[in-house]
């Protein structure tokens, strides 16, 4: 870290610093095609099956998670895509449920952003 930055943090009495940009306007963005491709890949579902394995394990382990998270399984996330007004909003030229799913995911990311979770 640069000495001037460190001095500033010391003066502010902060020991770290997280940059927070203004909220992204996900709805105005083109989606990232890689996310769309990944969401189509059935192999990602393996993580949900593993979730079931964890659930089947006896006696929950003690837990301390550093980061917030939604606690939702991927399948429930998938099933939610495409619902809600933005999926058929005017100006969505793409059509097709897969695109709507990704739009819904981006909307969900936007929600997380506005909740300060991104």
* Member of 4, 28, 30, 43 binding another protein (CB under 8 A): 43
Distance set, CA 9 to CA 16, 17, 20, 64, 95 (Å): 7, 8, 16, 28, 49
Q: Would you tell me how many other CB atoms lie within 10 Å of the CB of residue 106?
A: 22
28 or 90: CB nearest another protein: 28
- Residue 116: left (phi > 0), alpha (psi -120 to 50), or beta? left
Q: Is 27 in the site for another protein (CB under 8 A)?
A: no
* Rounded Cα distance, 86 and 84, in Å: 6
Structural tokens at position 117: 């979770």
On whether the CB atoms of residues 48 and 75 are closer than 8 A, the answer is yes
Binders of another protein among 52-81, rule CB under 8 A? 53-54, 57, 60-74, 77
Q: From 31-39, 83-91, 92-100, give the range in contact with another protein by CB under 8 A.
A: 31-39
* Member of 6, 83, 97, 114 binding another protein (CB under 8 A): 6
Applying CB under 8 A, which residues contact another protein?
1, 6, 9-10, 14-21, 24, 32, 34-35, 38, 41, 43-44, 46-47, 49-51, 53-54, 57, 60-74, 77, 105, 108-109, 112-113, 117-118
């Amino acid at each position: 870290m640069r000495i001037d930055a460190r001095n500033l943090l010391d003066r502010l009495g902060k020991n770290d610093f997280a940059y927070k940009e203004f909220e992204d306007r996900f709805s105005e963005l083109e989606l990232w095609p890689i996310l769309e491709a990944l969401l189509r890949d059935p192999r990602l579902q393996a993580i949900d099956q593993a979730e079931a394995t964890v659930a089947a394990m006896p006696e929950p382990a003690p837990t301390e998670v550093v980061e917030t998270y939604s606690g939702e399984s991927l399948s429930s996330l998938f099933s939610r895509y495409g619902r809600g007004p933005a999926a058929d909003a005017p100006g969505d030229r793409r059509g097709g449920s897969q695109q709507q799913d990704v739009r819904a995911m981006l909307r969900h990311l936007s929600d997380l952003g506005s909740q300060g979770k991104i």
